[in-house]
Structure 1
Amino acid sequence: MTASGTDTRDALLRRMSDYGELPAMGKSVSEVVRMASSEGDSVQELASFLLNDVALTQKVLRLANTVCYRTASGAPVSTITRAIFLLGFETVKTSALAMLLVDGMKGRRGQHVRNELAFALCASVIGREMARRTQFKDAEEAAVAALFKNMGRLVVAAHDHKLYGEIAALSESEGISPALASTRVLGCSFDALAESVLRGWNIPDSIVHSLAPLPAGVLKPARSRSEWMQQVAAFSATLATMLSRRGAAGEPAQRKALLTRFGPALDLDDETLTELLEGVADEAMALTSNSDITFAESEDEEAPAAAAATPVAAAVATAPDPLADLRLEAPGQPAADERHPSGKPVRAREMLMAGAQAISEMIASGAGGLNDLMFLALETVYTGMGFRYATICLRDVQTGLYKSRLALGAATPRLQRGFAYAAAGNKDLFFLSLQNNADLLISDASTMKIASLLPVWHRTMLPEARSFIILPLVVGGTPIGYLYADRDVTAPEGVTPEETAVIKMIKAQVIARISAR
């Protein structure tokens, strides 16, 4: 490591530290990585995370409605919960990570950044497909490892495109590997730089270790999950490079080299490689296109020679955009854009009906537990009616208090902790709703009549609520809970009879599922 290389690396790290979006992106990325599909409430945790980001929610729903993911029934996917159950937890999780990575780098313009992002997304899809073909436990982490395999190159491209071009030019002119070229210029390899970034994001060691370089030559079958993940991350990166080249996936020399190195270790032959390519091509294109990787380029930003110096950059720069012919089809456009001033979607009835259908399918298939079904119902009402905050409260048998069990929206953690109130003794709106099993749909909570019936705890904790609903959950004549949702503005458009009927249907579905326990 030379003194100049160390100075260059340190200057780059300082520049990255000054880029405020990178730490913020790292916090979101580490939060999604932490979520484990083996935990009972992970679906709700992931859904809640996604629903807090409108743009991310729309992208996931748009992806779920593309041709390669479309359900057999052809019905549009309108809720994140249903997308998770249809696509699979790990598919949605990895796709969300990819989209976070893209969004976090969008402030950095340039063809090199676009190339590296496309490479990362493609590699993640390959890693996920490889995870489906192994018996190793928690193999899905391989998709995350593959996504981060080129993190070192990506951050250099994003924060110093001239430095990125210098490394590429050195690699080409002297015929040395990008790892050696980056070490000469940066004072550390791309892999070491990636490790530094990921450790700063608190990414698990199992993923960071899998990014380490493999020995040269033919690889042997892995003796551990850790070694297998390392092989899959490298294989995914190599195959992603092939896919980015025009026709490279079909070139005998390229295929032979890939199978010679990775075939014995990953149990791949020419036939299985062809199957793998068929399985990932459409999905990779859909994910890349859906992530809106359309970075503007300036004429003097990067020289063509630098772009041609690395395999992925050369392939994408010289070949026509492989995504240009992709046409995403999303019948019904599940994320309604047109809204009333209150935030309520104009197509509220259609969105509520799609959610009710998803609930029916969940009940019929037996997929998910009671909590999953209640969360899907909550999400349907929350998104379908455009509420600011929504929660399902259930009665605690020991204390008699109605406590928040599930929640979505603004200030969720704070409000959920505070939702623990009795609905007895005082004839307020909540008491009357529960005792009479009456659904209350309040368009303007500021009127004297309504305000006088609000309990003290509601006026204290939710003073900004201007319109809300209360849907009591009554089983066998006994109130067991309620669904509450509100907005911080009035809703003069009200709730149509058709919308009311669908909301009642959703409530009935939840009660029927609770009664069947």
Structure 2
Amino acid sequence: MMPIRGEPHGRYVHFMAAKRIGRFNIVRELGRGAQGAVYLAQDPQLERQVAIKTLRPGATQTERLLREARIVSKLQHANIVPLYDAGEYEGQPYLVCAYVEGGTLEKMLQQGALPSVKSAEIACFLLDSLEYAHQQGVMHLDIKPGNIMIGHRGQPMLMDFGIARLMQEQVENREEVIGSPRYMSPECISNEAMNASSDLYSLGMVLYEMVAGIPAFDGDNVFQIMNRVAHEPVAAPSIHNPELDEKLEAIILKSVGKRKEERYPDAAAMRSALKEYLGGIGDAVANDAHSTLDFLLRRMRSKSDFPALSSIITEINQIVASESDSANKLARVILQDFALTNKLLRLVNTVSYGQFGGNISTISKAVVIMGFETVRNIAMSLIMLEFMQNKSLAHQLKDEVVAAFFSGVVATQLAVGRNIRDSEELMICAMFQNLGRMLVTYYFFEESQEIAKLVEQGQNEDQAAIKVLGLTYNQIGIGVAKSWSFPKRLLDGMEKLPLGEPVKRPKTEAEHMKATVSMANELCEIAANAPQEKSQALNRLRLRYQDAVEVSERKLNEALESGMKELSRRAMTLEINTSRSPLVKKVRQWSGLPVEQQPAASCEPAEGMNGVHGIESALDSNTQEDASIRPDPETVMGAGIQDVTNSLVEDFNLNDLLLMVLETIYRGLGFKRAVICIRDNKQNAMVARMGLGEGVDGMIPRFRFNLTFEPDVFHLAADKGVDIVIEDLRAESMANKIPRWYRELSDAQSFILLPIVINKKTLGLFYADMQQANGLKLSERQLSLLRTLRNQAVLAIKQKM
């Protein structure tokens, strides 16, 4: 094994002092490394900026170096940094390359691992360049993150093609190895014959680092690293990134096999494997809509936030679709998100939902009164509004969200007086008809800009989207909604009607909904873009839909006006200040409505404080006041008690009412978990039946204790009917009073037990815990409210006995 040079030796010419080399004017130094320094220079002859890289001195080999460099300069590929020229200055060789605006992959990786799909895409581009170079008989032999430029448009480009091999030849007699040990192939370290497979190994190591966030091999010095590369197996990258796709991991591990024959035979084979992983877009199946959608979904799933969004929406849809799942399960999912819970409850108590009677203080009661589907629809619209937040996209995405929200509101206004079962379904279908555009703007911003340019050039949006993405925005949105388990009724309602054609008379309620949703979106788009005189534009829309939706020009105008009022009401409830929306301003101007005035800057609260307004604030992840400011506990419990009281005088379901009590206990004091246990006489045990909070699904099957007396707090509560508050389980006095089964079950440091006693017999038990010790410093008022809730449960059970 030969030693490696970490720093250059010999005399270097300081080009910055020279200010000029040949015809090139030195501007500034860009960087310095083992092989030399890199300078930004100006080529006055061709009027362009170039990068000049100095190389280690070696006068006897300079002529050969320059001859070989001329061969490399013939490489012309989009993912190879072009080599323009080569020469010698005061005995020191130099190379003149294209100057690429951007940064190196090495710098990008300083921020941590990249998304798997993005990593695979970068590798595919680099493999294109390697396949081309290998066909020309040129190897790189020093592929590493520092030699990979990422242009300002995101295009990856290999630098220093072939220079490592040329430099290696320069120092053969010195018994040195030129290269980067973390990425060098084992045969390079062992001084064996190298070929194209050595480049594939190095690229595999770079791909490993992209997905894992750290190199596959490291050590205290270069010799230790080289020994590990040559002799130790490569650890699976999923050790560092548990979410890594198995297919991509298999590709990486194959590419970094110790022996050449274990790796891919050539760059084309490795690229083919990666493109298969990516879904095949751009290959023979590029016109296959299913494959294109799979590819786009895979790219979105690689983002850190998309899986969480998908998980909660899918779970909500599956619960609503199930005939066996209960209100408890739907409420539990929604209650996991504190901000969603508060916004949903605020919204359902507005005038917009007056038909439900108002004064709904628990998610449990909302589900019972409004029904699974209505709560689902409200929750999903709120989730999308909350999710679409990205500072880097500024107003563009945020106005897309407002546009979708406004379309939903207008759809409900167009349905007034018509036979459509659920106006909230209209709301969500109209909003989610824009789902594809919002997701593309959020996740594929550059592609969305490209689509916008094509539209400006005269193509319609569907044509432009197909050209850039292979699918229309609407097809993408419906495809994503299917993956989220949307019911067919909503999927049908999201589907756009063909542009320009007269809309046929609907035969079913679903067709009525689809026509109304499409009309609402087209009306909002016309109002926002103001393409022509108002009356003429409305009349054209009316004529297109006259067989499907009997609506006058006056009704269309009223829908816009009432929609603006309803948008303002809902936006105020959700703390979205629409006065900052360019779209709302345009619609108001076109409709002849007064334009809302923006609040004075001096009146706005500081960022991150309760009450932040403005679209930027309401959709900004750094200003989610609901996530940090909890309502007053006594207010929450008082409202919940009123909810339960109202239900007790009606024909109630016992499980639903007990869930309202449990939810009020859980939310009121911010417990980590809340559980209700019921006495099981056959087993002579107290058994957990339902619960809310973190990890409760795993806790319920194991939360049970035999009613045969033991000297612990659980039996004291069950046998004596005593309310118990444990402030600190670590207290010395608690050592013998907490049973072993509980210590193995929960890591909570404080909890409360409220027994349900009827006729001097404990029939059930409320349990609620907090993670931290001394979290249960209850006031007399709070303890009294908890007991009132427990007593309401007692009353409900008595009524049903």
TM-score range, shorter chain: 0.7 to 0.9
2:413/2:563 contact within 8 Å kept: yes
Shift in CA distance, 31/131, structure 1 to aligned 2, threshold 3 Å: farther
Instruction: Give the letter aligned to residue 402 of structure 1.
Output: M
Aligned to 1:356: 641
**Distance between the aligned counterparts of 1:40 and 1:276, measured in 2?**
39
Please report how far the alpha carbon of residue 414 of structure 1 lies from its aligned counterpart in structure 2 after TM superposition: 0.4
Aligned to 1:44: 328
1:401/1:423 contact within 8 Å kept: yes
Shift in CA distance, 156/72, structure 1 to aligned 2, threshold 3 Å: closer
**Distance between the aligned counterparts of 2:688 and 2:528, measured in 1?**
49
1:2/1:184 contact within 8 Å kept: no
Please report how far the alpha carbon of residue 401 of structure 1 lies from its aligned counterpart in structure 2 after TM superposition: 3.0
Shift in CA distance, 369/389, structure 1 to aligned 2, threshold 3 Å: same
2:678/2:687 contact within 8 Å kept: yes
Instruction: Give the letter aligned to residue 363 of structure 1.
Output: L
Shift in CA distance, 456/266, structure 1 to aligned 2, threshold 3 Å: farther
**Distance between the aligned counterparts of 2:438 and 2:775, measured in 1?**
49
1:209-224 correspondence runs (5 A): 209-215=492-498, 216-224=500-508
**Distance between the aligned counterparts of 1:27 and 1:209, measured in 2?**
22
Instruction: Give the letter aligned to residue 488 of structure 1.
Output: Q
1:391/1:406 contact within 8 Å kept: yes
1:118/1:288 contact within 8 Å kept: no
Aligned to 2:716: 432
Shift in CA distance, 496/251, structure 1 to aligned 2, threshold 3 Å: same
Aligned to 1:119: 403
Aligned to 2:515: 231
Aligned to 2:786: 503
Shift in CA distance, 211/482, structure 1 to aligned 2, threshold 3 Å: same
1:466-481 correspondence runs (5 A): 466-481=749-764
SS in 1 for 2:768: strand
Instruction: Give the letter aligned to residue 159 of structure 1.
Output: Y
**Distance between the aligned counterparts of 1:452 and 1:427, measured in 2?**
8
Aligned: 1:486 with 2:795: no
Please report how far the alpha carbon of residue 194 of structure 1 lies from its aligned counterpart in structure 2 after TM superposition: 2.4
1:125/1:280 contact within 8 Å kept: yes
TM-score normalised to structure 2 length = 0.53
Partner of residue 386 from structure 1, selected from 670, 680, 686: 670
**Distance between the aligned counterparts of 2:337 and 2:379, measured in 1?**
11
Select the structure that is richer in helix. 1
Aligned: 1:190 with 2:452: no
**Distance between the aligned counterparts of 1:329 and 1:40, measured in 2?**
40
Query: Which of 19-28 and 9-18 deviates more?
Result: 9-18
Shift in CA distance, 411/257, structure 1 to aligned 2, threshold 3 Å: same
Please report how far the alpha carbon of residue 94 of structure 1 lies from its aligned counterpart in structure 2 after TM superposition: 2.5
2:338/2:627 contact within 8 Å kept: no
Please report how far the alpha carbon of residue 204 of structure 1 lies from its aligned counterpart in structure 2 after TM superposition: 3.6
1:235-254 correspondence runs (5 A): 235-241=519-525, 244=528, 251-254=534-537
Please report how far the alpha carbon of residue 205 of structure 1 lies from its aligned counterpart in structure 2 after TM superposition: 4.0
Shift in CA distance, 336/70, structure 1 to aligned 2, threshold 3 Å: farther
1:146/1:236 contact within 8 Å kept: yes
Shift in CA distance, 168/480, structure 1 to aligned 2, threshold 3 Å: same
1:58-137 correspondence runs (5 A): 58-64=342-348, 78-82=361-365, 90-107=373-390, 109-127=393-411
Instruction: Give the letter aligned to residue 347 of structure 2.
Output: L
Aligned to 1:373: 657
Aligned to 1:171: 455
Aligned to 1:265: 548
Query: Which of 410-419 and 200-209 deviates more?
Result: 200-209
Gaps of 5+ in 1: 298-306, 340-344
Instruction: Give the letter aligned to residue 54 of structure 1.
Output: F
**Distance between the aligned counterparts of 1:173 and 1:383, measured in 2?**
54
Query: Which of 111-120 and 18-27 deviates more?
Result: 18-27
**Distance between the aligned counterparts of 2:505 and 2:540, measured in 1?**
17
**Distance between the aligned counterparts of 2:724 and 2:530, measured in 1?**
60
Shift in CA distance, 474/336, structure 1 to aligned 2, threshold 3 Å: farther
**Distance between the aligned counterparts of 2:304 and 2:557, measured in 1?**
43
SS in 2 for 1:63: helix
SS in 1 for 2:728: coil
Gaps of 5+ in 2: 1-280, 605-609, 613-624
2:675/2:690 contact within 8 Å kept: yes
Aligned: 1:409 with 2:693: yes
**Distance between the aligned counterparts of 2:355 and 2:492, measured in 1?**
37
What are the superposed Cα offsets for residues 352-401 of structure 1, whole Å, 9 maximum, x if unpaired? 2222122212223x275222221111111112122111011112344333
Aligned to 2:303: 19
Query: Which of 489-498 and 44-53 deviates more?
Result: 489-498
Which structure is richer in relative contact order (CA contacts within 8 A, separation 6 or more)? 1
**Distance between the aligned counterparts of 1:221 and 1:202, measured in 2?**
29
SS in 2 for 1:481: strand
RMSD: 4.5
**Distance between the aligned counterparts of 1:281 and 1:91, measured in 2?**
22
Shift in CA distance, 202/61, structure 1 to aligned 2, threshold 3 Å: closer
Percent identity between the two aligned chains: 27
Number of paired residues?
A: 489
Please report how far the alpha carbon of residue 50 of structure 1 lies from its aligned counterpart in structure 2 after TM superposition: 1.9
**Distance between the aligned counterparts of 2:423 and 2:587, measured in 1?**
30
Please report how far the alpha carbon of residue 469 of structure 1 lies from its aligned counterpart in structure 2 after TM superposition: 1.0
